[in-house]
Amino acid sequence: MLKIRRRQFLALGAGSAGAVILTELAGKLNQNLLQPALAGSQQHKSQDGLLELDLEAGYRPVRVGNTQAYLLSYNGQVPGPRLEANPGDTVRIHFTNNLSEPTNLHYHGLHITPQGNADNVFLSIPPKERLTYEFTIPPNHPAATFWYHPHHHGFVAEQVFGGLAGLFIVRGKLDEIPEVKAAQEEFLVLQDFALDANGRILAPNNMALMMGREGKLVTVNGQVNPNLSILAGGLLRLRFLNASASRFYRLKLEAHPLHLIATDGGALAEPVEVSELLLAPGERAEVLVRGERDSGQYRLLNLPYNRSGTGLMGNGRIKPGMNGMTGGMSNHDMGNQSQSPQVLATLTYRGSISRLALPKQLIPVTALPEPAVVRRLEFSMAMGAGRKMTFMFNNKTFDAKRVDTGVKLGTTEDWDLVNVDPDRMDHPFHIHVNSFQVVARNGQPEPYRAWKDTVLVQGGETLRIRIPFRDFSGKTVYHCHILDHEDLGMMGILEIRA
Ligand code: C2O
Ligand code: CU
Ligand code: CU
């Protein structure tokens, strides 16, 4: 009855004995030990300047929506526990790898050192081994919505798509603004899964690798269409994380504008009203919603979005049926091609209070100095012999032994991100350690300043971003946050030299 389909959950670690053992374990659990996962994830908050916890990555039965799934989880939960710390805190994470393949931890968006046992993506923690991560969050670190996830090159897409992701919240000035503090706070971790009939993760086919894998089961905090409540007259602070490996979310809340108050790396100077919000993988956004109706239910929607440009299927390079490109696509959902909106959550009015105001000012976003250097980074992909796909920056695929970009600590640079992908595919660019500001998009200045660490570069676009290299030297990376593209080479090594 139990089928061992190692490739379906660990395509790259399939040869190891660990995979077999874990699969058998899952089979036993399937027979007797199933119980629904806890509603909402565990939380760990720092106390007296220290955030310390045990964190285990493992393959476990987890309930997502009404489905019993077998996912990769942190401490048995999908999403993983929510961590909360303050600027100046020390963070100590006793990490155990119970997967059957190597992994590690990355602290996406945190401005901490990339060296040692901190935000070091070059560490490799083999199966069954442990490592204690320890670092300090700088005392002037901005408050924002950050997250942690695996970052072992070659395994990133598979492990994040398996469910490994959790929020890392840094508290601070933004949380103390009275209007923000008065708002009801909700975290929304957006994840999608492609499962077979037995709840096991489907292996990606070539098309899924090329587009980046997506799954039809779309979840918010591991739930399908959860309920959110709002008070008439009240304020709701929604903190979104796109923790999906490749899926984009074009968010819209029926009958309610969104008041954007923070992007990846921190608060805006003042709220910006938007009717919808596009979140590429890795991006975060915080919005305030005013309870401006009296009653009723309103859907939080994911509107259709085509992230593949126009060329992908039409240019004759990829034909359906080629080398299994279209085989087994049933539970994969590539590029949000679906033409109808999906419901992510439902907002319900429950009760009322006297009308709360939106904040007028948030936190100044300082202008960065003029750049010392301007660089150009071209994004592209190619199909090599045997239809081997490569994704590249400046025509080079990732090489762990090569430093692609050397910069000087304490300087500011402008990078032109130029998407020359022949398929006009979208690529969300992400850089570790330092947040940046977008200066211009296709030559047009941005309407307002914002701190970003992940930004969408659509097919054919050129973005100019300005990056300050502050406080920390060492080697780190930048990459496309469609994680299959990253694993297939669209990553470069940055060395910040003191
Ligand atoms: Cu969220 Cu280098 O990653
Ligand atoms: Cu990151
Ligand atoms: Cu990409």
Rounded CA gap, 105 and 121, in Å? 7
Digit-by-digit pLDDT tens for the chain (498 residues) are: 333 333 333 332 333 333 333 343 443 343 333 333 334 579 999 999 999 999 999 999 999 988 999 999 999 999 999 999 999 999 999 999 999 999 999 999 999 999 999 999 999 999 999 999 999 999 999 999 999 999 999 999 999 999 999 999 999 999 999 999 999 999 999 999 999 999 999 999 988 999 999 999 999 999 999 999 999 999 999 999 999 999 999 999 999 999 999 999 999 999 999 999 999 999 999 999 999 999 999 999 999 999 986 444 433 333 333 333 333 344 555 554 557 899 999 999 999 999 999 999 999 999 999 999 999 999 999 987 777 889 999 999 999 999 999 999 999 999 999 999 988 999 999 999 999 999 999 999 999 999 999 999 999 999 999 999 999 999 999 999 999 999 999 999 999 999
Ligand 1, residue 151: give the atom nearest the CA: 2
- Tell how far the Cα of 459 is from the centroid of ligand 3, in angstroms: 10
- Tell how far the Cα of 307 is from the centroid of ligand 1, in angstroms: 19
Residue nearest to atom 1 of ligand 1 (CA): 108
- Tell how far the Cα of 380 is from the centroid of ligand 3, in angstroms: 8
DSSP E strand boundaries for 221-292: 227-232, 235-242, 249-253, 258-263, 266-274, 277-279, 284-290
Any idea how long the chain is?
498
Q: What is the strand order of the sheet 284-290 is part of?
A: 217-220, 184-193, 235-242, 284-290, 258-263, 266-274
**CB contact set of 62 (below 8 Å; sequence gap of 6+):** 37, 69, 70, 71, 73, 76, 77, 78, 163, 222
Question: Strand, coil or helix: what is 16?
Answer: coil
Q: Per the structure block, which two tokens stand in for 241? A: 């994380």
> DSSP class of residue 322?
G
Q: What is the strand order of the sheet 405-408 is part of?
A: 405-408, 491-497, 474-480, 427-431, 454-457
Ligand 1, residue 477: give the atom nearest the CA: 2
Look at strands 284-290 and 235-242 and give their pairing.
antiparallel
Ligand 1, residue 282: give the atom nearest the CA: 1
Of all ligands present, the nearest one to the C-alpha of 281 is 1
- Tell how far the Cα of 156 is from the centroid of ligand 2, in angstroms: 11
Ligand 1, residue 147: give the atom nearest the CA: 1
Of all ligands present, the nearest one to the C-alpha of 210 is 3
Please tell me the number of Cα atoms within 13 Å of 8 on its side-chain side: 20
Supply the pLDDT for residue 264. Answer: 98
- Tell how far the Cα of 430 is from the centroid of ligand 2, in angstroms: 6
Rounded CA gap, 104 and 116, in Å? 13
Q: Per the structure block, which two tokens stand in for 287? A: 């919005």
Whether residue 167 contacts residue 79, with contact meaning beta carbons closer than 8 Å, is answered with: yes
> DSSP class of residue 201?
B
How crowded is residue 294: how many other Cβ atoms within 10 Å of its Cβ? 9
Supply the pLDDT for residue 357. Answer: 97
Rounded CA gap, 169 and 165, in Å? 13
Supply the pLDDT for residue 383. Answer: 85
Look at strands 405-408 and 389-393 and give their pairing.
unpaired
Rounded CA gap, 129 and 269, in Å? 44
Q: Per the structure block, which two tokens stand in for 103? A: 């992994």
How crowded is residue 356: how many other Cβ atoms within 10 Å of its Cβ? 18
Using alpha carbons, list the distances in angstroms from residue 353 to 81, 167, 356, 490: 32, 30, 8, 50
- Tell how far the Cα of 178 is from the centroid of ligand 1, in angstroms: 32
Rounded CA gap, 248 and 236, in Å? 23
Question: Which residues, listed in sequence order, are joined to residue 418 by a DSSP beta bridge?
Answer: 378, 462
The DSSP line for 150-189 is ---TTTHHHHHHTT--EEEEE-SHHHHSHHHHHSEEEEEE
Residues with CB under 6 Å of ligand 1 are 106, 108, 149, 151, 282, 430, 432, 477, 479, 481
Ligand 1, residue 479: give the atom nearest the CA: 2
- Tell how far the Cα of 344 is from the centroid of ligand 1, in angstroms: 24
What is the b/e burial string over 407-442, where b = at least 16 CB atoms within 10 angstroms of the residue's CB? beeebbbbbebbbebebbbbbbbbbbbbbbbbbebe
